Every structure is written in C-alpha cells, then in structure tokens.
C-alpha cells in the first residue's frame, strides 16, 4: 500500500484464543480420533450420548448428556445446551472436506462459559451414532491476544465526507492455507487500492483488510464499533476469489434497486455474474446490522468447495481468474466512487434485515 503512495495504518483489537489445546474421546473403552473445539473450555464430561438431528428445535432431552450433532456448533445452540444442562458435545465434519480448526463464537463463550466440545471425522461420527455413551477429555488455556485490521483511505476530491467501504479478510482458518478464502480477495483489494491511488474519486474510498474474520467476523465488528458509520454509503466486500474454475457471484445485502444496478452493469460489460438478494457470511454483516447495504463479490467453484480445508492451496488458484474478476470489481467501484450523485439508496429492506438478525442470533446467541 505504501508503494502505491497510500498511508496505511493498523488498528489493534483484542480477541480470545486458546493455546495448548488437547482432546481425547473414549467410547466403550476405545479411544477414537478427535480434535478440540476451540473456545469451549476444559473438562472431562462422561455420560449418555444423544444425537440431535435439528439443533434449531432439539427433539430430545440433553440434561446430563453429551450431545452429538452433524455440522458446526453455533452460538444459539451452544447457549441452549448450557441452559438445558448438557455436559459436552461432539460435532461431526462433512464427509466432503477436511474442515480444520473449529472455533466457537467468542460472544457465545463469553456469555455462556465452558461446555467442552470436540470434532470428529464423518466415519467416527457413524460409530458414535450407534454408541450409548462417551467420555471427553478436553484441555485448553484461553488467553487474550491482539489481532489487527489494516486501513488505508483515498480521500474524495468533491465529496470527501461520503465514503464507500471496501473490505477483504486476510486470515484463514487454522490448518488451511487459505488461498481461495481469502488470499484471492486480499490480492483483489490490493489491486483496487493500487488503481484508486492513481485516481481522483469524487467520494472517499476506505480500504479495510480485516483480521480474524474466520473467528467470527471479529475484525469487521471491531471496525464497526470503533468508527462512525453515518457517512459510509455502501460496502463492497470481496471474499472467495481466484478459483481456476470459479463462477462469478454477487450477494446483494440491499433492495431490488441495488440488485438491478449490479445486474445491469454486468450485462453492459458482458460479465457472467449471478446476483441475488441475500445475506453473506462475511465482513459485510456487522455493517449490515448497522443498516449499511453491501455488494459481496466472489467466484465460487470446485476449488472454493475446499475452503476451510487443508486443500485450499495454490493448486486451485488462477491469476487469470483474479484479473477477470477485477474487471468487474473495478468498474463497480468506480461507478460508486465517481458518480456525481450516489446511484443507490442507503437502505436494507425488512426481509433482508430479518435475515441479518437471524444470522447473528444463530452464530453468536445474541
């Protein structure tokens, strides 16, 4: 960023992180392989094992039991398990990927406290489905550490008080190289910064490279909490990019006007974009909760299906794919920054607002 003539700065925020983690799982005197679920605390629960098919509406009593579920542990269900007196939990990975580094929402842990959990591969989950009881031995030391956002601004020459926020997270889940998710998006934001640094946009462009997105959007939450958001008109978030066989998409957290805007631009450019109005689990969400609409741009395909796995590496990455995506990202950004009058209303319709709130309730329990 400095090479482009910009003056980047870092903003530090504190997060909780576990170190010296370990986990063991025993069924019928036999030890089964597992990995620790971070931010769930320490303990040695032992008891009846109960499989819950629908965490949204648990169909069985969990008091005094160890709960087995297929998929990740979300904050809302974690809170339910704590309130209902569960002893611990076991989550089962998808059979299609090596999901590593499962982490509970920091907000859920801070509110609810310890409920020792582990994660197992799908094959182990099948064994547990037939088991009557289990024992977990889980250890972790939770410590406060620093994470960082990196910021840079290109001041608008006519309307500097109006801003468009551009975001991409630069972290990855533990154990994953994080190439498609989200080295590709980080490269795209750097390239956008290089281009904008040479221009004179009417309104201000704020670039934010977010830390700790994979730990629960903590970087974007920190930025939204620290800064005034009143003058931010729109967010453009880039997450999942560079897949050699990717299909271009844009999730619009906004209204029909915004959807039509992005679709017409893609059509005008001959750019093969699939756009829809929906939420997107990425750094735009804390801003959406504050009422700021967004375009969430990415390119998904076979390689992106390996996100959050050990296989999200350079073998699936294409510099040419980044260049193709950048044509549209640049055009969209310039339309927002250079327009004499901002072309979109800063509003999120009620149906999308409801999805945003439901998202945070499920993920964090609040």
- For 249-280, the pLDDT digits (tens) are 999 999 999 999 999 999 999 999 999 999 99
Helix (H/G/I), strand (E/B), else coil: 288: helix
In this structure, what token pair is assigned to residue 359?
A: 């998202």
Task: Identify the band that residue 99 occupies on the pLDDT scale cut at 50, 70 and 90.
Answer: low
Rounded CA-CA distance 187/172 in Å is: 14
Q: Minimal CA–CA distance to 302: which of 214, 242, 251, 252?
A: 242
Rounded CA-CA distance 171/175 in Å is: 11
pLDDT of residue 307: 87
Q: Which of 229-238, 306-315, 323-332, 342-351 has the lowest mean pLDDT?
A: 306-315
User: Of all residues in the chain, what percent carry a pLDDT higher than 70?
Assistant: 98
Mean pLDDT of 67-75: 95
Please, are residues 158 and 295 in contact by the beta-carbon 8 Å criterion? no
Cα–chain center distance at 63 = 31
Task: Identify the band that residue 97 occupies on the pLDDT scale cut at 50, 70 and 90.
Answer: low
Domains of the chain in sequence order? 17-141 (3.50.30.30), 155-364 (3.40.630.10)
Q: How many residues are recorded in the chain?
A: 366
What's the mean pLDDT when you consider all of the chain? 95
pTM, full prediction: 0.94
pLDDT of residue 174: 84
96 pLDDT higher than 70 = no
């Amino acid at each position: 960023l400095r090479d482009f003539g910009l003056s980047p700065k870092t903003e530090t925020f504190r997060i909780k992180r576990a170190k010296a983690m370990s986990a063991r799982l025993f069924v019928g005197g036999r030890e089964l392989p597992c990995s620790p679920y971070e931010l769930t605390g320490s303990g040695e629960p032992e008891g009846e094992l109960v499989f819950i098919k629908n965490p949204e509406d648990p169909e069985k009593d969990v008091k005094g039991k160890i709960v087995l579920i297929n998929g990740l542990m979300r904050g809302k269900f974690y809170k339910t398990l704590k309130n209902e007196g569960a002893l611990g939990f076991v989550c089962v990975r998808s059979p299609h990927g090596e999901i590593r580094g499962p982490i509970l929402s920091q907000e859920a842990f801070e509110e609810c406290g310890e409920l020792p959990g582990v994660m197992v591969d799908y094959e182990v989950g099948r064994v547990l489905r037939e088991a009557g009881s289990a024992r977990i031995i889980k250890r972790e030391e939770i410590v406060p550490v620093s994470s960082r956002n990196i910021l840079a601004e290109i001041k608008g020459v006519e309307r500097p008080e109006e801003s468009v926020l551009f975001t991409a997270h630069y972290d990855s889940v533990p154990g994953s190289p994080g190439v498609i998710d989200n080295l590709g998006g980080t490269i795209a934001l750097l390239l956008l910064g290089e281009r904008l640094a040479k221009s004179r946009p009417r309104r201000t462009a704020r670039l934010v490279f977010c830390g700790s997105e994979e730990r629960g959007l903590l970087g974007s939450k920190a930025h939204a909490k620290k800064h005034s958001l009143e003058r931010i008109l729109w967010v453009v978030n880039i997450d999942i990019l560079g897949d050699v066989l990717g299909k271009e998409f844009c999730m619009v957290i906004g209204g029909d006007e915004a959807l039509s805007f992005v679709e017409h631009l893609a059509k005008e450019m001959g750019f093969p974009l699939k756009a829809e109005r929906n939420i997107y689990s990425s750094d735009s969400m804390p801003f959406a909760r504050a009422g700021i609409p967004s375009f969430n741009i990415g390119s998904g395909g076979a390689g992106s299906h390996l996100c959050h796995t050990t296989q999200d590496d350079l073998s699936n990455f294409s510099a040419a794919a980044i260049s193709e995506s950048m044509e549209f990202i640049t055009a969209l950004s310039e339309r927002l920054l250079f327009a004499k009058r901002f072309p979109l209303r800063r509003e999120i319709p009620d149906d999308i607002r409801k999805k945003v709130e439901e998202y945070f309730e499920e993920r964090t329990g609040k």
